[in-house]
Amino acid sequence: MADPGTPDVRSARHYLFWLARLQRGTIVAATGAATVWMLSQALLWAAVGGAVDHGIAGGHASQLWLWAGLILLLGVTQAVSGALRHQLAVTNWMRATYRTVQVVGRHITTSGTALTDVIPSGDIVNSVGADAPRIGMAFDSLARFIGAIISWLIVSVILLRSSHLLGLIVLIGVPTLAALTTPMMKPLHAAQAAQREATGRLAALGTDTVAGLRILRGIGGEEVFSSNYNAQSDLVRRAGVRAAVPQAALESGQLLLPAILTSVVTFIGAREVARGTLQPGQLVSFFGYATFLTTPLREVIQYSIMATRAYVGAGKVVRLLRVAPTVDEPASPRAWPERVEVLDDERSGLRLTRGQMTAVVTETPAESAALADRLGRFTADVKGVCVNGIALADYSLADTRRHIVVNDIEPRLFSGRLRYELVPHDVSSDERILAALNAVSALDVLDALDDGLETRVDERGRSFSGGQRQRLSLARALLTDADVLILVEPTSAVDAHTEGRIATRLGEMRRAHSTLITSTSPLMLERMDHVFLVADGRVVAQGTHHDLVTSSSLYRQIVLREDS
């Protein structure tokens, strides 16, 4: 969907109602189809009873053919409405499911690191993989649930017109038997919530274990994490068994309770036939009605199970959607300037000028990363950062992301064609892509691939070495042609010869824009137009690399590894 909408996250109930409002058209259509489908089943028995009384018992062949034709018509109606009901039910399921997936995905992309700071990544994945389909299943059965209530009311009126006693039994008996399942709802809800919590922790544990598998092998910790995973898996199993007890009771009720109702209606109907107050065909109809009413009762119980699961899943989704993004949008965003001439940070004293290759040297990598996040607006605290004299916080996030690109120290590649990996949001010529690869000294990576730019990249780019991933990520950053490009330790995983070539060629590619590189490599720094030395968040010295080597002992300690 171009826009999945803004979800109502006040509660799980409000979120489900929000989904229902957005697809009310298909819900109404599905409800109509479900009602026709169920009523055609019920009226089929009335037609059979009419054929018995008027065709067979009365000995009228024409009447028999008439009722037989009506039975055929009802059968066709049931088939058509049943197919339409199923189509619309699946549509409702998919729309609710994938709208939930989409709003969660959108929230992930806009919330920054705030989301994973609060909720484990495995739990987030579980919300998409498990909770969203559970929400969808409730919308799959919703139309049948509403249709079941409508058809039960109509059949009850028909029975009341034929037999007050049997009509009252059905009218009162169905909701009474359905109410017997109510005590199961609370323990089912609690058990399913506990199971969902345990499953989320298991997914988070599995995600963390896989992410740190190389480290675990290095320190011999595989057995410890394996035992932890087994223990948590056992908790999930036990929680599932506890949830299965009330669910099994409800499932059993789908068979037992309708059987009780059918037995009562058949017994009383047979007595009324014996007394002469009911015709044999009417008894057939009443038996058929009683048999049919197992369907509405079963649908009510089934919906109770699905709605409970959906409520638990919606609670998890709402918890996720309530996490506030790290960065807020301005109320009235300013238009982005045609050219970024200056990006400066009053707090640190850093200043980037158009057309210059600028470097920042800090005592720790964490300080460089924090500065890059601040200039790239990946943190809420950007007070003092200005673009052409206007506060960075006054621009929209979309414009900021489009014009200021931060290439992190840990390059991330995803699965897909290499061409799309390098230029995901644009159409670039092969010449431009090759120029970027040449600038980052990555043509050898391309030459080693049989299909060149059409080669399919494995998930996380695991088929490439660390240095190859870093160079491909750097080429991707260059191809954005961003007004301001911030590169965090861009050559930390390559050898000295490759680093020297990259340092020289980067300047040639970025002469029309502003570029900031955080690095402590002399090979990189000596090719920069200007270098800032930052300590405790403030610029303490600046100049060329050679100037700072001569004038700053702190610079020499960091870059040349001199003793203090």
pLDDT per residue over 102-151, tens digit each? 999 988 888 877 887 788 777 788 788 888 999 999 999 888 888 888 88
Please indicate, yes or no, whether residues 247 and 349 belong to a single structural domain of this protein.
Answer: no
Buried b (16+ CB within 10 A) or exposed e, 244-263: eebbeebeebbeebbeebbe
What is the C-alpha to C-alpha distance for residues 495 and 521, in angstroms, rounded to an integer?
11
Between strands 538-543 and 530-535, the pairing is antiparallel
At residue 554, the pLDDT reads: 93
pLDDT tens-digit series, residues 229-244: 788 788 878 877 777 7
CB 63 within 8 A of CB 55: yes
Please indicate, yes or no, whether residues 380 and 279 belong to a single structural domain of this protein.
Answer: no
Please classify residue 212 by burial: count the beta carbons closer than 10 Å to its beta carbon, then call 0-12 exposed, 13-18 middle and 19+ buried.
middle
The DSSP H or E segment spanning 385 is: strand 385-387
At residue 390, the pLDDT reads: 93
The string of DSSP letters for 244-294 reads HHHHHHHHHHHHHHHHHHHHHHHHHHHHHHHHTSS-HHHHHHHHHHHHHTH
What is the C-alpha to C-alpha distance for residues 402 and 423, in angstroms, rounded to an integer?
13
Report the range of poorest mean pLDDT among 129-138, 206-215, 360-369, 537-546.
206-215
- Joined together, the tokens standing for residue 154 give 């109509």
At residue 328, the pLDDT reads: 82
At residue 386, the pLDDT reads: 94
At residue 181, the pLDDT reads: 61
pLDDT tens-digit series, residues 31-43: 999 888 888 887 8
Confidence band (pLDDT; 50, 70, 90) for 488?
Answer: very high
CB 192 within 8 A of CB 312: yes
pLDDT at 545 exceeding the cut of 90? yes
Report how far Cα 376 is from the mean position of its chain's Cα atoms. Answer: 26
pLDDT at 204 exceeding the cut of 80? no
In a domain, 135, yes or no: yes
Of these ranges, 21-30, 35-44, 195-204, the one predicted with the greatest mean pLDDT is 21-30
At residue 68, the pLDDT reads: 84
pLDDT at 472 exceeding the cut of 60? yes
Higher pLDDT, 518 or 151: 518
- Rounded to an integer, the average pLDDT of 50-72 is 76
- Rounded to an integer, the average pLDDT of 403-412 is 86
Q: What is the CATH number of the domain that holds 94?
A: 1.20.1560.10
Residue after which a domain boundary falls, among 287, 321, 355: 321
Please indicate, yes or no, whether residues 401 and 542 belong to a single structural domain of this protein.
Answer: yes
In a domain, 384, yes or no: yes
Please indicate, yes or no, whether residues 484 and 518 belong to a single structural domain of this protein.
Answer: yes
At residue 165, the pLDDT reads: 73
Buried b (16+ CB within 10 A) or exposed e, 451-471: eebebebeeebeebeebbbbb
Please classify residue 370 by burial: count the beta carbons closer than 10 Å to its beta carbon, then call 0-12 exposed, 13-18 middle and 19+ buried.
middle
Please indicate, yes or no, whether residues 306 and 185 belong to a single structural domain of this protein.
Answer: yes
Q: What is the CATH number of the domain that holds 392?
A: 3.40.50.300
In a domain, 564, yes or no: no
pLDDT at 215 exceeding the cut of 60? no
**What average pLDDT does the structure give for the chain?**
83
Q: What three-state secondary structure class fits 523?
A: helix
At residue 28, the pLDDT reads: 92
Please indicate, yes or no, whether residues 237 and 385 belong to a single structural domain of this protein.
Answer: no
- Joined together, the tokens standing for residue 548 give 């700072």
Using alpha carbons, list the distances in angstroms from residue 154 to 141, 259, 296: 20, 21, 12
Domain count, the chain: 2
The answer for residues whose C-beta is within 8 angstroms of residue 220's C-beta and 6 or more apart is: none
Please indicate, yes or no, whether residues 315 and 455 belong to a single structural domain of this protein.
Answer: no
CB 559 within 8 A of CB 549: yes
Tokens 């959906």 found at: 310
What is the C-alpha to C-alpha distance for residues 32 and 85, in angstroms, rounded to an integer?
8
Please indicate, yes or no, whether residues 420 and 542 belong to a single structural domain of this protein.
Answer: yes
Tokens 């036939």 found at: 273
CB 517 within 8 A of CB 327: no
Structural domain boundaries enclosing 113: 12-321
Please indicate, yes or no, whether residues 66 and 157 belong to a single structural domain of this protein.
Answer: yes
In a domain, 490, yes or no: yes
Please indicate, yes or no, whether residues 389 and 420 belong to a single structural domain of this protein.
Answer: yes
Q: What three-state secondary structure class fits 442?
A: coil
- Rounded to an integer, the average pLDDT of 368-376 is 91
- Angle made by CA atoms 426, 429, 434, in degrees to the nearest 5: 110
In a domain, 329, yes or no: no
In a domain, 274, yes or no: yes
Secondary-structure percent of the chain, ordered helix, strand, coil, rounded to 5: 70, 10, 25
Report the range of poorest mean pLDDT among 289-293, 318-322, 525-529.
289-293
Please indicate, yes or no, whether residues 310 and 346 belong to a single structural domain of this protein.
Answer: no
Confidence band (pLDDT; 50, 70, 90) for 516?
Answer: very high
Higher pLDDT, 513 or 409: 513
At residue 360, the pLDDT reads: 95
Confidence band (pLDDT; 50, 70, 90) for 437?
Answer: very high
- Rounded to an integer, the average pLDDT of 433-458 is 89
Please indicate, yes or no, whether residues 290 and 349 belong to a single structural domain of this protein.
Answer: no
In a domain, 309, yes or no: yes
pLDDT cut 70: percent of the chain above it: 86
Confidence band (pLDDT; 50, 70, 90) for 318?
Answer: very high
- Joined together, the tokens standing for residue 303 give 């919906």
Strands (E), 109-151: none
In a domain, 109, yes or no: yes
Tokens 């595989």 found at: 222
Report how far Cα 523 is from the mean position of its chain's Cα atoms. Answer: 44
